Copies of this chain bind each other. A is one copy, B any other.
Amino acid sequence: MARKRFDDSKCSVARALNEVGDWWSLLIVLHAMYGTRRFVDFQQQLGIAKNILCDRLAKLVDNDVLRKVDVGEHGSRFEYRLTEKGRDLFPVVVALRQWGDKWNPTPEGLPLDLRDRETSQPIQQVTVQSSDGKTLTIRDVFDYEQTH
Q: Which residues of A contact B (CB under 8 A)?
A: 3-4, 10-17, 19, 21-23, 26-27, 30, 33-35, 47-48, 64, 81-82, 85, 87-97, 99-106, 114-119, 121-133, 136-138, 140-146
Q: Are B12 and A146 in contact (CB under 8 A)?
A: no
Pick the most buried of A30, A33, A126: most chain B CB atoms within 10 A of its CB.
A126
CB contacts (< 8 Å) of A11 on chain B: these are 27, 30
Other CB < 8 Å A-B pairs besides A17-B26, A91-B125, 16 of them? A3-B23, A10-B106, A11-B30, A15-B104, A16-B104, A21-B22, A21-B26, A22-B22, A35-B143, A88-B103, A91-B99, A116-B131, A117-B140, A119-B130, A122-B131, A124-B133
Q: Are A97 and B141 in contact (CB under 8 A)?
A: no
Given A116-B140, A121-B130, answer yes or no on A13-B33 (Cβ-Cβ < 8 Å): no
Given A26-B17, A130-B124, A142-B33, answer yes or no on A12-B100 (Cβ-Cβ < 8 Å): yes
Q: In the complex the two chains form, what is the Cα distance from A132 to B34 in whole Å? A: 23
Q: Are B17 and A23 in contact (CB under 8 A)?
A: yes
- Cβ-defined partner of A99 (8 Å) among B16, B22, B116: B16
